Structure formats: structure tokens, C-alpha cells
Structure 1
């Protein structure tokens, strides 16, 4: 793909990977086993999942990533070339491509094991840093190497016109040690990001539990009022979402806590549900109307959560992380059917 002259309005920093998918009879306990009735492969990686989800919603989005010079990396690049995602900032290294083994049971629950060094060795060059400073919205996953996460923060904090910043604490702290964003850097994101997202596993590992997470996030938001860079807590920013799978989500906006239900659908595969949810939040809360002042048109808390939850629910009704990602019209029809 020929590099573009300027960055798209949204840039995601995260992995583009191949998922090796096993449809298993059950998720095995320690020393237990399972039978795989089907083994196949699909496209994934948090960065690619969020980027492709935003592309399906009609957003102009680019991906900053790194793949290996091998079969997996070639397949990932060929797949991205068939989407609307700007992959001109996906570099190629000589180490094994990042890839995941996903065990998915009949209820759609899954376990994921990731291997490959390519994304873990991502480094941001000067062109990447300039693009991040010049874009309107930056998304970073907690799986990003700590040096990359810190560089993104430095770029955003020093930019003359800072882009909006969304951060997803995608895994437990123990899982991230040595390959992802470290606790000290996560703390910086908590006090800097416009949107901070964490699932139950991540919240328990980093904050010590759901209640502690709500308290810490609210306190961090209140402490940011009037700091000169962050959106004012008086107009409902910053925002954080703690996700609980089928049990819904908790939104902390300007220190105020609100609970929301998830949509009830027949789950086929929950892989990528969290990533598609984050993409929906970015679309409705951060990217705005795409006009001259995109971030001035951010929608309210409830509208954004319902839209994002619909994106995730629709995606869960298909197998794999990206196959079921909906277009905007599908999301609107889904909500209309439910009187929303």
C-alpha cells in the first residue's frame, strides 16, 4: 500500500495477528482435556480488530503495528490490504509473527494463548510519532510494549493540539509483564486518557477488584479537573468503562458511576467482543461527526454505550473476531428493533 500524505483521523497501535481457532467441547481445567471438532484460522489482534471494526463503521482509520517476515505476517498484510484500513504503518521484522491459539467452547466462551515476537518488538520511528501527533484520535492496547505505550503518551502530552487518547487495558497485569504496558505506564494512562477501558480480569489484576476499580477511576478523574490538558470533568469527560461480559458494563464519567446492561443475543463466539465494543465507543464518543470540530460532537454516555454494546453483540453472533463486525446501518437497525 502506498503511504498517504497525512495520517487518517484515527490511528490504532496494536497487533495484527492470525488466530488459530479450535472449536472445543469444553475449556479444559488444569490437567484436563478437550476435543476440538474443528480447527481453522482467522484474522485477529487487538489493533487490527479495533481498526477493522472502525473501518466497517465507515471511519477512516490506520494501524501502527509490526508483523514477521513469514507466512503469518504475509497473510495478515494481504488481509489488511483488502480492507479500508491504512496499513502503511505496519512494519515487517525478521522475527516470528504474533499469532494466537483460541479455544472456543459451545457457549462462545474462550481461552487465548499468544505467541510470536513481532509485535512485542515494535518500535515507533519519527514518522510514526509525527503521525500520532497529527491525527485526531489515538487508540492503544495494553498489549503494546511498554516503551511504545510510553512514547505514545509522550507524543500526546507534548502535541500542540493533542489527539484524543483511548486506552484499553486488554489483559491481566501478570500477562502483560515483559511484553505489554507496565503498571506505572498504565497509571499514566489512567490519569491522561480521554477513554480508559478495562474488563473484569484486567480490573481485578490492576485495581484489586470491581469496587476498587470504580473508586480509583473516579478519584483519578476528579483529580484531573482543571489540569490544563484533559477535558473538563464538568462536561462529562474523561470517561472510563469497566466491562463485565454478558453482565453489562460500568461507566465512570467525570467521577459519576452508571451501570448498563449488555444486549441478550445468541452468542456463537465471544472472541473480539471487547475490541468491537471499544471501537463502538471510539466511533460514538471520540471520533464525533467527522466535521471541522469532530470532538465537539461527542454523544452522551448512554447513547455511546448502547451503540458500542450493539456492535459487540452483533459481532458475537458470528465466529471469529472480525467476521461479524457490523456496518453502521446494521447497528442502527439492531437498536431500532429494540426501541432505541
Structure 2
């Protein structure tokens, strides 16, 4: 998971490294006759299990796209934890920074009705007790990007953010230093995160510090008050309209997180099949989702985020291969093409059951886009 030399053939051939901080969960699926109302019931026609967890989903998705991906997580010292580790060993994801600790492994009970509607209940203390150690924090200096989900416990989230900010401060004093980009996913409704995930005040810090900020159709209104307010708040955060003097000073001290160009930082607010809104440089643009026959939308948001990281972060990193770094033909800053590429990754994932089995390879995404008249990078 560490970078190669700073120059030479090894560096040019290096695949950009992304470190994902999140759970490697076990999903227990119940195909039910209906989602029960309070005091109601349902019948499960099928019960099965699959591998999930936002952090693992994003890491595996990037691995399928041919990227170097590592996972920072914590699993339980039980049967479920051992299954998660065995599964990761079968992928290309670097699990060096996955700790094993006391407490039952994190797992989710997912009820899915015949129409695809879902209800999810998560249990297990393993990931909730995540505390990134010194080795994991040190690895962030060698990553091109660090991804974090709001399901990460607040103490861990703050530690990751502090680490990235310290690397930015170092870069401000040393031009040759190259701090990782920071990607944050505002997962789930705020009330679900209280006591186990990232707290609102820390989420606010990520809003003003992340290079890419992603929020879903449930999370965005829950945190910002409404979908419209989410767009306004994100745009204001990007342009400095809602930042305090202390925030502005911190950005100046740590070096610009927008050094990639005038439309950085970026954010996307997703609405599933209803499309998404990208906010870049304070300007909002709406995009349609691809129309596919959906089999299972679970994990589509994670697949989408991985696609954004691939195009917006890893695809532009030094040492990436020529094809992923090719400039889009329709938008010089790559906003639109990146969103389309990510939307294709998510759409393909929706055509298979469960999350990780349906995560596509790069060639599958490129074929999907070509069939719809787009270039391999999502350009028109």
C-alpha cells in the first residue's frame, strides 16, 4: 500500500493508492413478504448472507477498477470477523490495517420486500471501537486519497481528519510534499449516527476540509434540513461564504485543498434513480442516473463514490496510466465525465444481487458507457 520511488519506471507504473476507512461487515439478508409495520410481521422466503460495509465496499470497488486499495477497519474476534478477513484475503484489497478486537463483529440485518424496498438494522461493536493506530495513520502519508464514511466512530473520524490536516500543513511548508486528497461520505440519517458514528460538529469540519464530499438522498436532508439547503450549504462551504475566520485561517495555514483547479473542492448529492447534483467551485449541476433494470440497489452509493474517487482523484494522480488520466472531451475540469463514470459503476452494480458481487471491472464500465454513446472516461 506504500508508494514506489518518486521517480523512474516504478513510479510511472504505480497504481494510485486509496486508503478506505470503514467497516467490513457481514450482511444477513431476509427476502420478506413485506416490510412490517409497528407490531406487524412478515415471512422470510429466503435467508442468506453477503459481505458489505461501506469501507470494504468502496475498497473492493476500487480494486475491481484496477486501483491499489487498502482498508483501515476493525473486525470482531468471532466467526463473522474471521469470515470477513478470509473474504478480504480473496480480493486485491490490502488488509494490513484491519485490526481484530473484542466485541461481536459488525453485521447488518437487511429486510428486502418484493419491490426492492429495504429496512436495515446494524449490530456488533467491532467497528464502533475502531481507533486507527500509528501504522494506519502513517500509511495515509503514502496514499493518494483517504476515504472515510460517517459511520466511522467520531473519535476515529477526528483522528483521521487531524492526520490529513497535519499532512497539509507539512505540504504548505515543503512544496515537494504531496498530502492525500480527503473524501468523505455522509452516510445515513444523523440520528442513526449519534453515539456510534461521526458527530454533526465533526461532519461540519469535513464539509469544509474534504476534497470530495458525498451525501445521499436520506443523509443530505437529515443533516442540512432539505435537499435545497444541502446544495446551498455545500456551495457556500466551497466558496467560503459560510466559513468562519478561524476556518479560513486554517485553510490558509494548511495549504489549499483546491490546488487541483478552480472547481475544487467538489461534492455530489445523490438521489438514487432520480439522479444527482454535483457542486464544483460553488456551482451546482444536475445529472440523470442511467436507466437499468434494478435487481438490488444496496451499495449503489458506495459504488458511485468509488467511481468518483477513480475519476476525480486516482485518475488524475501522478503515475497513473495514460488511459485513466486522459482529459474529458466535453468538460475540461472533468466534473461531468466523472459523475457519468461513477453513475455507470453504480448502475451496473444495481443489476446484480448484493453489493460486492456486482461491482464492475473497468472494462465493464467502459463497455456500458460506450453502449450509451460515451467515452471510456464518461465524456460525450
Aligned to 1:253: 280
Aligned to 1:171: 188
> How many angstroms does 1:32 deviate by?
2.8
Offset from partner CA, 1:115-149 (integer Å, 9 cap, x none): 00000001111111111123110000000010111
Is 1:323 matched with 2:357? yes
Matches within 5 A, 1:268-279: 268-279=295-306
Cα–Cα, structure 1 residues 296 and 325, in superposed 2: closer, same or farther, change >3 Å? closer
Aligned to 1:186: 203
Match of 1:43 among 27, 51, 64: 51
Cα–Cα, structure 1 residues 233 and 82, in superposed 2: closer, same or farther, change >3 Å? closer
Secondary structure of 2:204's partner? helix
Match of 2:122 among 114, 126, 136: 114
Match of 1:82 among 64, 79, 90: 90
Is 1:150 matched with 2:158? yes
Comparing 285-294 with 67-76, greater Cα deviation is found at 285-294
**C-alpha separation in 2, matches of 1:29 and 1:270:** 22
Matches within 5 A, 1:132-147: 132-147=140-155
Offset from partner CA, 1:158-183 (integer Å, 9 cap, x none): 11332100000011110000100000
Cα–Cα, structure 1 residues 10 and 204, in superposed 2: closer, same or farther, change >3 Å? same
Is there any run of 5+ residues in structure 1 with no aligned partner, and where? none
Secondary structure of 1:166's partner? strand
**C-alpha separation in 1, matches of 2:64 and 2:192:** 30
Cα–Cα, structure 1 residues 97 and 307, in superposed 2: closer, same or farther, change >3 Å? same
Matches within 5 A, 1:215-226: 215-223=232-240
**C-alpha separation in 2, matches of 1:84 and 1:102:** 27
Secondary structure of 1:100's partner? strand
TM-score by length of 1: 0.94
**C-alpha separation in 2, matches of 1:5 and 1:141:** 22
Match of 2:227 among 200, 210, 221: 210
> How many angstroms does 1:322 deviate by?
0.7
Comparing 89-98 with 24-33, greater Cα deviation is found at 24-33
Match of 2:105 among 94, 97, 100: 97
Offset from partner CA, 1:9-53 (integer Å, 9 cap, x none): 110000001100111222223333322111000000000000000
Give the count of matched residue pairs: 337
Aligned to 1:281: 308
Comparing 45-54 with 19-28, greater Cα deviation is found at 19-28
Q: What RMSD in Å do the two structures reach over aligned CA positions? A: 2.0
Contact 2:2 2:143 in 1 (8 A): no
**C-alpha separation in 2, matches of 1:12 and 1:230:** 19
